Amino acid sequence: MADFRLLKDAKPWFKDIYSKDEGLVIDFEIYYFCLMAGLATGKKRAELSTSDTSELVQHFPGRYKEKGKIIVSLFLARYLASLGVTLTDKKTAHNQISKLISPTSPSYLSDEGMKELNKYAAAGYDEITGWFEDRPRTLESFLRTFALKMASSVNPINI
């Protein structure tokens, strides 16, 4: 069973807003920001080596657990759009989705689905670091810039 994987460069880049006292508390929050940037822009890395990443978890942790199906749905919509598959083409959509989903998995994703999701998160990290002149020093400054850049970078999903 595949894991959510965070680029090894990400945690040091977020280090000033990553703390147990305030700011980002778990590594998955960093992953989430990166994933949302990748999905919003529609960008993913062509390849992602496990040596460039570190294992996080196999499930949606904490407050992300109840939103896991929504996150997976957003991923599926973006992935299908990237292939040019529309929901009106039910057979092709079903074939593609069935490769990515595993209802018994704690993440709802197959190994292939998790690998594809992680590629979006990795490209999202690339996007985020491009949005900042320097890494963020406070959570407030990160969130402000992140929200502005996300709003102007969203690539609509047409499926």
Confidence at residue 24, expressed as pLDDT on a 0 to 100 scale? 66
Q: What is the percent of the chain where pLDDT is above 90? A: 84
Q: Does residue 106 lie in a domain region?
A: yes
Predicted local distance difference test score (pLDDT) of residue 19: 67
Rounded distance between C-alpha atoms, residue 60 and residue 80, angstroms: 22
Q: Which residue is listed with tokens 């062509």? A: 46
Report pTM. 0.93
159 in a domain, yes or no?
A: no
Q: Is residue 158 part of a domain?
A: no
Looking at the domain assignment, is residue 44 inside a domain? yes
Q: How many domains are contained in the chain?
A: 1
Token pair of 33 as six digits = 């920001």
How confident is the model over 110-126, as pLDDT tens digits? 999 999 999 999 999 99
Q: How far apart are CA 11 and CA 31, in angstroms?
A: 9
Chain centroid to Cα 49, Å, comes to 16
Please report, for residues 10, 26, 94, 98, 108, the alpha-carbon distance to residue 15 in angstroms, rounded to integers and kept in the order given.
9, 12, 41, 37, 30
Query: What pLDDT does 149 receive?
Result: 96
Q: Is residue 56 part of a domain?
A: yes
**Nearest residue to 43 (alpha-carbon basis) of 155, 152, 148, 137:** 155
Task: State the Cα–Cα distance between residues 47 and 59, nearest whole angstrom.
Answer: 22
**pLDDT above 90 for 28:** yes
113/156 Cα distance (integer angstroms): 21
Residue 70 lies in a domain: yes
Side-chain half-sphere exposure of 8, counting CA atoms within 13 A:
7
Residue 39 falls within a domain, yes or no? yes
Q: What is the pLDDT of residue 20?
A: 59
Residue 91's domain comprises 5-153
Q: Is residue 43 part of a domain?
A: yes
CA dist 119 and 140 (Å) reads 27
